[in-house]
Structure 1
Amino acid sequence: MRVRVEIDDNLKQPELIIRASSDDPNVEKIKELLAATPLTDEVLSGFKNSREYFLKPSSILFIETENRQLQIHTIDEIYTSNERLYEIAEELPDYFLQVAKSTIVNLKQINALNKSISNCLISFYDSPKEVYASRRYYKQLQERLNEMRLSK
């Protein structure tokens, strides 16, 4: 196997391209290893009562904008942030997914989906908090949850 690194100062995040023949059995193993290994111990900052807290992404249930204010929800707390939703979305690991125009959820924290004709209600483990997914994002939400379930 050959490894090559190219430096490009215009990139905001590292990009990894795997080139292999179609019958190479190692490609899927490499892909799974890379997806399972966090590159950094990145944290998000959130504010509550004029104090800044540093939150691990795994502790976040969902992030939403309400009244032009970004709110970061954990199991029992709500923190605010001065960043925009799209800015935070770029920093989050791949197990986060946008499910509405103003909402991003942690797929690993989802306990149940309650689908009705008009909407989809998402509930989380160990928390009474719930959030709605719009119809536009529902299919992608289900696909990602199925991928995660099958990869375990």
Structure 2
Amino acid sequence: MALERTLSIIKPDAMEKNTAGAIVARLEQEGFTVKAMKRIHLTRAEAEGFYAEHRGRGFFDELVTFMSRSPILVMALEREDAVAKYREVIGATDPAKAAAGTIRKLYGANVGENAVHGSDKPATAAREIAYFFAGYEVAPSATA
């Protein structure tokens, strides 16, 4: 199986609770390699741009307000089957429904403040990584 990349965002709620380090450590324990990482504070316009596909949906304004309220940690992660594995490790969107031991179960409070964002498919991951990182900012994959 080939290496794949996914975007991870540690959201404002987890950053405010100082759980980013524990989340990054967990991801590394799960076999992810951090290829790029930065701490940023999104403007409202940047959050709107990132979540543009949700514009017009009932939760859009709340989501954009939340994502721009305080800093986030964005990472480009790599491993085999990265998108699916990341989604498995973070758990269901609603922490109350997430499996025991998943990141959202451990660190999320509710559907809106659920600690992390993850790409839903490889094509989305590529677009999302490019939204936050210039090509030169992402470390190349190891070659055999």
Q: TM-score range by the shorter chain?
A: under 0.3
Structure number having the greater strand percentage:
1
TM-score, normalization by structure 1: 0.23
Structure number having the greater helix percentage:
2
TM-score, normalization by structure 2: 0.24
**Which structure: larger Rg?**
1
